[in-house]
Amino acid sequence: MSQNAVALEAGRRRTFAVISHPDAGKSTMTEALALHARVIGSAGAVHGKGDRKGVVSDWMEMEQQRGISVTSAALQFSYRDVVINLLDTPGHADFSEDTYRVLTAVDSAVMLLDAAKGLEPQTLKLFEVCRQRGIPVMTFINKWDRPGNDALALMDEIEQRIGLKPTPLTWPVGIAGHFRGVIDRRTGVFIRMERSPGGAELAIEEEMSPEEAAERFGADWATATEELELLAMTEADHDQKTFLAAASTPVLFGAAVANLGVRQLLDILVELAPPPAARPTADGGQHAVDGTFSGFVFKMQANMNRAHRDQVAFMRVCSGRFERGMVVTHAGTGKPFATKYAQQIFGRGRETIDEAFPGDVVGLVNATSLGIGDTLYTGEQVRYPQLPSFPPEHFAVVRTNDTSAFKRFRRGIEQLDGEGVVQVLRSEQRGDQAPVLAAVGPMQFEVATHRLEAEFGVKVQLDHLPYEVAARTDAAGREILRSESNVEVMTRVRDEALLAVFPHKWRMRTVAGRHPDLKLD
């Protein structure tokens, strides 16, 4: 395939993540977008009430039971001749490391804000990550069908607390909880919206002239038009350059659970979200989308489907054309890697794919030789930057009392480590029989123990350790710290890095002050 053809295919892609604070409606929005693209026939409630199934992106039993996302999922579908690659992310702050990895694989993001809660702590952190990575962000004010904050107040909060200029593209008619529809600021058209019976189908929409809207909605329409005049006075108009520079954020209003405003979001994504572009390489250069094939692994996941019991490496295609069966080079080892088993993963479903282009996410099945952050390429060598690991804040020794299950225990621990569910540490004090699990948040332990029992048939017990702070050190630092109490040095199994762990940051500062030559970073 010619370079021009690859560039055209890349131009048709929109690859983005849905991110937010927990319970803001991310998985519901993922499903609503798929519904509007006609990928699914009806939406399932997040908690799977009645005869409605759980959301399509929540495949893990634990997710379906609790109605939260603790893993990320990749969905692909077409809309208006554009290929949408949508990455749903974990909804809980404990899984911020997984969310960060997903953000390395996207070109833009949709941030959901709860109309009643506004900017919450996790939302602020995610906005900052997007800013640091230069990821353009669209904002969707969700749950406008329920009581919430004033629309103008939410715009002020976005600008004052995170420094992004909000530029509403749609504006609500009716206060939160009395949602009548939205005004498209670019065309002036009013779109009346009504939830479909039961809320599982596409919303009912009707375009109305300003005169018709004024006659039907009276005071609500008058208030909305006054607010639009204030927005015009503050020059809160969309500017594509500042949006792509991650300095402004287009804003839309709606309610994902009722499928209100979702079509407008899809249209805006197609029209304004950036397609894949050249990506920075580890040596400081850039690799063009129409160059030779390259991609990197941003997620590992095993046992997504109990009928398969396999391991999937999620690879973002960065350049060139991917063809199933092609032999690529593993940048870390220089060894060839065959891609015979390549699939698209849609929640719990999967299907074989024959080709993919920049922006697409490919599931490489039984890719046991791959790890998170690995680069694959053909032709001239390409290597993308390694994905950073977050410093863990929670530590626990994991054991099983069932000696007959020890091989399964070790296999399960290795699996969880390879996927990045937890970091696995080796302690000289405890030996290989009792590895230490390290996590950013305690729910990671819950997921680990649940999966060990559900997927490997191993019941385990956790003994929590009194450490909260970790820093990398070296062999010399390990020897220095042997003489210190309430401090321990462990080896991270994944990369053999030495981690010094402390009960709190004050203890670390005290020890560092006593040993000026001690390396801690």
Model confidence band, residue 19 (pLDDT cutoffs 50, 70, 90): confident
Q: CA nearest 313: which of 359, 367, 349?
A: 367
Amino acid occupying residue 71: T
What is the pTM assigned to this prediction? Answer: 0.84
Domain ranges of the chain: 3-272, 279-377, 394-514
Query: For 481-510, what is each residue's pLDDT tens digit?
Result: 999 999 999 999 988 999 999 999 999 999
Q: 255 and 179 in contact (C-beta within 8 Å)? A: yes
Model confidence band, residue 179 (pLDDT cutoffs 50, 70, 90): very high
CA atoms within 13 Å, Cβ hemisphere of 365: 18
The conformational region for residue 268 under phi > 0 = left, psi -120 to 50 = alpha, else beta, is: alpha
Name which of 110-119, 123-132, 440-449 the model is least confident about: 123-132
Rounded Cα distance between 378 and 221, Å, is: 58
| CATH T-level topology, domain 279-377 | Elongation Factor Tu (Ef-tu); domain 3 (2.40.30)
Q: How many other CB atoms are found less than 10 A from the CB of residue 286?
A: 12
Q: 167: which 2 tokens? A: 């530029």
Going edge to edge, which strands form the sheet with 469-473? 461-464, 394-399, 436-439, 423-426, 488-492, 497-502, 469-473
**Average of per-residue pLDDT across 162-188:** 95
Q: CA nearest 221: which of 267, 171, 270, 271?
A: 171
The pLDDT of residue 416 is above 60: yes
Q: Is 463 annotated as a binding residue?
A: no
**Average of per-residue pLDDT across 401-413:** 92
Rounded Cα distance between 29 and 7, Å, is: 30
What's the pLDDT at 22? 76
What's the pLDDT at 304? 57
Q: Is 249 annotated as a binding residue?
A: no
What's the pLDDT at 64? 47
Contacts of 146 (CB under 8 A, 6+ apart): 115, 116, 176, 177, 255
- 3-class SS string, 127-175: HHHHHHHCCCEEEEEECCCCCCCCHHHHHHHHHHHHCCEEEECEEEECC
DSSP string, 356-372: E-TT-EEEEET-TT--T
The pLDDT of residue 257 is above 50: yes
What's the pLDDT at 386? 87
**Ordered alpha helix ranges (H), 57-141:** 61-66, 96-103, 121-133
Q: Is 308 annotated as a binding residue?
A: no
| CATH T-level topology, domain 394-514 | Alpha-Beta Plaits (3.30.70)
Rounded Cα distance between 479 and 127, Å, is: 40
Does residue 256 sit in helix, strand or coil? helix
**Average of per-residue pLDDT across 368-377:** 92
**Ordered alpha helix ranges (H), 357-425:** 406-419
The pLDDT of residue 58 is above 50: no
**Average of per-residue pLDDT across 173-202:** 89
Percentage of the chain surpassing pLDDT 90? 64
The CATH architecture assigned to 3-272 reads 3-Layer(aba) Sandwich (3.40)
What's the pLDDT at 200? 66
**Average of per-residue pLDDT across 335-350:** 82
The pLDDT of residue 67 is above 50: no
Where does 358-496 show beta strands of DSSP type E?
361-365, 375-377, 394-399, 423-426, 436-439, 461-464, 469-473, 488-492
The neighbouring-strand residues paired with 167 are 250
Q: Is 89 annotated as a binding residue?
A: yes
Model confidence band, residue 69 (pLDDT cutoffs 50, 70, 90): very low
Class of residue 497 by CB neighbours under 10 A (exposed 0-12, middle 13-18, buried 19+) = middle
Model confidence band, residue 477 (pLDDT cutoffs 50, 70, 90): very high
Name which of 93-102, 114-123, 185-194, 372-381 the model is least confident about: 93-102
What's the pLDDT at 250? 98
Name which of 43-52, 112-121, 446-455, 467-476 the model is least confident about: 43-52
| 259 φ, ψ (degrees, to nearest 5) | 65, 30
Name which of 347-356, 381-390, 425-434 the model is least confident about: 347-356
Q: Is 368 annotated as a binding residue?
A: no
Model confidence band, residue 45 (pLDDT cutoffs 50, 70, 90): very low
Residues of 502-521 as b/e, b for ≥16 C-beta within 10 angstroms?
Answer: beeeebbeebeeeeeebbbe
Residue given tokens 């809160």 in the structure block: 236
The pLDDT of residue 92 is above 60: no
Q: 311 and 367 in contact (C-beta within 8 Å)? A: yes
**Average of per-residue pLDDT across 415-425:** 89
Average pLDDT, the chain: 87
